[in-house]
Structures are given as structure tokens and as C-alpha cells.
Amino acid sequence: MITFFNDSHQAHAPEFEFFRGERVPCFETPARAEYVKASLSARGHSLRQAHIDSRDILAKVHTPRYLSFLENAWRDWSALEAGNAQRQPFPSVWPVRSLRSDIEPVNFIARLGLYSMDNGSPLAAGTWQAAKAGADAAASAAALLAGGQGAERAAFCCSRPPGHHAGADFMGGYCFLNNAAVAAQALRDGGAARVAILDVDYHHGNGTQSIFYERSDVLFVSLHGDPQTEYPFYLGHADETGAGAGAGFNLNLPLPAGCSTARWFEALEQACLRISSFGSDALVISLGLDTFAEDPISKFSLQPDDFSRLGQRLGALGLPTVFVLEGGYAAAALGSNAVNVIDGFEGV
């Protein structure tokens, strides 16, 4: 399978985050993508660089003022005060219910809060560079399939930071630009009448859902930890089925923390049946691998062989498919688990 590798991912390397009230080293680190890259190379998968500038597609997925903020955030932060270039900024105020979000504050930390759903997406000097390169990779993968180049029916984006928690005008959960949404929009622009997105990350892809919630041309399906107890908490319930033109084109399959692998695969089968009935022309997989039993911040129990089984079921859908790397924080196992999915897909 053709893999688009984002060399610029290493530019996003914040030192720490806050987790359960403590300052801890970041779970989302450059090592994650490097482990996947090593496993891909070891198993003979070709690696290439992005060849598409995603800026036009990003403008269809994210709002102009959010993109402008994100692109200039580190410059603005560093210019505020001597020493800021050696500090990580975090939001401390958010425009919750009854507060206004239509006016962009001048104060940097207030703007950071305006565009953040949490304080779990630490910025670094190279955040925009890394995130933009990941979006370029997603657009390039979609263009490869839409262009019908060679015999490839699938492509994988090995990039970070992840994207599925990023909405049209906000970041969150380590995510800044929504790569799955970029891939889906690029596939639509490339001629696919209907695109399905399947999110198999442990955490609900709230950003992806919100971007496509009122659209009927992109189906969003997610199986994830129940938001009553699991991040992102405020989206991902089963009664969220779409709105307006998108009514009926959103399917959430929340599962209790600690649920059995058998139950997880039952939900996967339900998801696949819905994708088939949608009549998709192409498929985007938000490939979160934090469903692994040894993941430090998640509570499902999949084993390495289960990722091969996942790939086989996705391959059986018979659709042109873009895989986009999302979560997975047992970094040393991330590479082999990702390639198990890819090899399972290609073995169908």
C-alpha cells in the first residue's frame, strides 16, 4: 500500500501536557509516527511525500479565522513577551454558554481559549508546519485514489498530530487540522458522489462529526468509548443522527469502557453494514489504534491479531480507501498494530 509519510511531523514536539490535574510528558509524541514508519518499511510498504497543497481544501473544512489563528499562533505568542518561545501556552478561559464567540479577542490567551475545546492540545513552534503537512498528506492520498493511478485501491497517511477532534473552528484532543475531513472533502472534489468516514479510535471523532453533521454526501460512522465516561464527553451519543440535509447520515456506536472484543467487532459489523447501505464511492478510515489492550489512556482490549481482523473486514467492503492515523499511545506497539490493519486489508 502506498504510504504518505509526513517528515515534518517532528516539528510538533511539545514537552508536556496536563493529564488528570498533573503536568506530565506528552502522550502524543514524535516517536509514534516513527514507530509506524519503521514497521511500514520493515514489511515492504513504499513511503512517499505529499505532493498536494491542501490549503484550498482546508478552506472548505475549517473557518478562515481559525486557520489564520493557527498558522500565526506561535509567532503571536512568541512576540508577546521575552521568553515565550521557551514556554508552552495553554488556554485558561473558554466562551461557554451565554458568552460570545463571534468577536475575536485581542488577548492571545483569550483567543487560544476561543479556538480550543480543552487544554489538551499543547502548541509548539512547529505545530502549524506539522499539522499542515499532515493535511497535505491526506489530500495527496485522496488524489492518488481519485486519479486512479496504478493498481492502488488504498493509501495510508502516516502523520501526526492526529485530527479527528478538530472541528471547523477549534482544536482539541491533540488535534489541530482534521485530516479525515480533508481526505473526505478531497475525494468529493475528485468526483466521489458519496464518501463514508469510519472512525475506529477509542475516542469519538467529535470534530469530524460536527463538520459533516448537516451534509448527506458524507456519512460519518464511529464506534468509541461511551462519552458519558470517556473523552470527549460532550458528543458521541447514539441519538446524534445528523441534522437538516444530514439527518440520518451520522451513526454513533458508543461502547462501555472495558467492553469485550467480541462486542467491539459486533459494533464494527453494524458500522460496515451501514456503510454498504449508504452506497459509498470511497471510504476514509480514522485509524485510531488506542483500542489496543495496553494503551495507557484507553479502556478497550484489542490484541495485535484483532487489528489484522479489522483490516480484513474493511478490505471486504471493496472501496477505495484512505487510512488516516489518529490516536494510539502505546507507542512501541503502534507500528505493528497499524501495519497489521494494512496487511489485513491488502490480504482480502
For residue range 35-80, what is the model confidence (pLDDT) as tens digits? 999 999 999 988 999 999 999 999 999 999 999 999 999 999 999 9
Which sequence positions are flagged as catalytic?
A: 165
- Amino acid code (one letter) for 175: C
Q: How much is the pLDDT for 230? A: 97
Q: How many domains, the chain?
A: 1
Residue 328 counted as domain residue? yes
Question: Residue 171 is part of which domain span?
Answer: 2-62+126-346
Residue 87 counted as domain residue? no
Q: What whole-number distance in Å separates Cα of residue 127 and Cα of residue 200?
A: 25
Q: Are strands 2-5 and 47-48 parallel, antiparallel or unpaired?
A: parallel
CATH of the domain at 35: 3.40.800.20
Residue 105 counted as domain residue? no
Mean pLDDT, rounded, for 280-303: 97
* Number of separate helices (H) and strands (E) present in the chain: 10, 10
Q: For residue 48, give the C-alpha cell.
A: 512517499
Residue 83 counted as domain residue? no
Contact, 325 vs 290, CB < 8 A? Answer: no
Q: How much is the pLDDT for 20? A: 81
Q: How much is the pLDDT for 324? A: 98
Residue ranges in 81-193 assigned as alpha helix (H): 108-114, 127-146, 179-189
pLDDT grade, residue 99 (50/70/90)? very high
Q: How much is the pLDDT for 302? A: 98
Please write the tens of the pLDDT for every residue from 308-320. Answer: 999 999 999 999 9
Mean pLDDT, rounded, for 94-101: 97
Contact, 90 vs 119, CB < 8 A? Answer: yes
Residues paired with residue 18 on neighbouring β-strands, in sequence order: 23
Q: For residue 6, give the C-alpha cell.
A: 509526513
Mean pLDDT, the chain, integer: 96
Residue 100 counted as domain residue? no
Residue 113 counted as domain residue? no
pLDDT grade, residue 148 (50/70/90)? low
Mean pLDDT, rounded, for 201-226: 98
Among the ranges given (1-10, 160-169, 221-230), the one the predictor scored with the smallest mean pLDDT: 1-10
Residue 81 counted as domain residue? no
Residues paired with residue 23 on neighbouring β-strands, in sequence order: 18
Model-level pTM? 0.97
Q: How much is the pLDDT for 186? A: 97
Mean pLDDT, rounded, for 255-282: 97
Contact, 33 vs 159, CB < 8 A? Answer: yes
Q: How much is the pLDDT for 147? A: 65
Residue 73 counted as domain residue? no
% residues pLDDT > 70 (the chain): 98
Q: What whole-number distance in Å separates Cα of residue 331 and Cα of residue 289?
A: 10
